[in-house]
């Protein structure tokens, strides 16, 4: 059991289990993209650990870059606009694999996918470390997902609770009260 800020978390997925599963996904991607020289785009901050492990498990030519997403409650019809900060690569004609830590409601990725499509990528896929199927509210589907988990808050392996907990090698799940 670990304490992050005021909450307690219990080990949920061990480091070795994660490593094995990420290796499987890397093998799938290597097979699917053998002649495509994909560009992986990791979404900071949460995806940096998964992205580093996934990228090193690839056995094909591939590039990686990272972005941050800024959300605005703007005047658009959706009331929610997402802008990529720091994306310098040309996406036109490229095979893009977006790398996320977790798809919760799917809101963040839904907006970013529109931007990638607008930039005329040849193809766009999503690789996520985690999904919470029970929480999904937007039409976003992961092409590669390491683990589906219950709708509870997790930290570790890059995911934080208010800034801390990212460096835990195991994924931890919040302990139920009482």
Judged by the rule CB under 5 A, the positions of this chain that interact with Mg ion are 46
Judged by CB, which is closer to ligand 5GP: 33, or 130? Answer: 130
Q: Identify the burial level of 92 via C-beta atoms within 10 angstroms of its C-beta, where 0-12 means exposed, 13-18 middle and 19 or more buried.
A: exposed
CB of 74 to ligand 5GP, least distance (A): 16
Q: How many residues does the chain have?
A: 178
CB of 99 to Mg ion, least distance (A): 11
Which of Mg ion, ligand 5GP, none interacts with 104 (beta carbon under 5 to 8 A by kind)?
ligand 5GP
CB of 29 to Mg ion, least distance (A): 20
From residue 146, alpha-carbon distances to 50, 88, 108, 136 in Å are: 10, 28, 19, 16
Judged by CB, which is closer to ligand 5GP: 15, or 160? Answer: 160
From residue 96, alpha-carbon distances to 33, 143, 153, 166 in Å are: 10, 12, 29, 26
DSSP H or E run through 11: strand 7-13
Q: Which residues are catalytic?
A: 104
First to last CA, the chain: 15
Residues of this chain that bind ligand 5GP (CB under 6 A): 46, 100-108, 153-155, 159-161
Judged by CB, which is closer to ligand 5GP: 100, or 170? Answer: 100
Which of Mg ion, ligand 5GP, none interacts with 87 (beta carbon under 5 to 8 A by kind)?
none
Q: How many CB atoms lie within 10 A of CB 139?
A: 8
Which of ligand 5GP, Mg ion, none interacts with 106 (beta carbon under 5 to 8 A by kind)?
ligand 5GP
């Amino acid at each position: 059991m670990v304490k992050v800020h005021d909450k307690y978390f219990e080990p949920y997925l061990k480091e070795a289990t994660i490593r094995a599963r990420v290796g499987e996904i890397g093998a799938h991607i290597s097979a699917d993209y053998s002649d495509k020289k994909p560009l992986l785009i990791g979404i900071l901050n949460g995806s940096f650990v998964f992205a580093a492990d996934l990228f090193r498990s690839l056995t094909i030519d591939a590039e990686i870059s990272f972005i941050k997403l800024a959300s605005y409650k703007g005047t658009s019809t959706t009331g929610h606009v997402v802008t990529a900060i720091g994306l310098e690569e040309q996406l036109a004609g490229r095979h893009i694999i977006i790398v996320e830590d977790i798809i919760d409601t799917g809101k963040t990725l839904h907006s970013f996918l529109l931007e990638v499509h607008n930039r005329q990528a040849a193809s766009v896929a999503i690789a996520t470390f985690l999904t919470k199927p029970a929480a999904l509210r937007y039409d976003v589907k992961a092409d590669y997902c390491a683990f589906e988990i219950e709708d509870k808050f997790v930290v570790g392996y890059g995911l934080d609770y208010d800034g801390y907990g990212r460096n835990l090698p195991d994924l931890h799940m919040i302990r139920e009260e009482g």
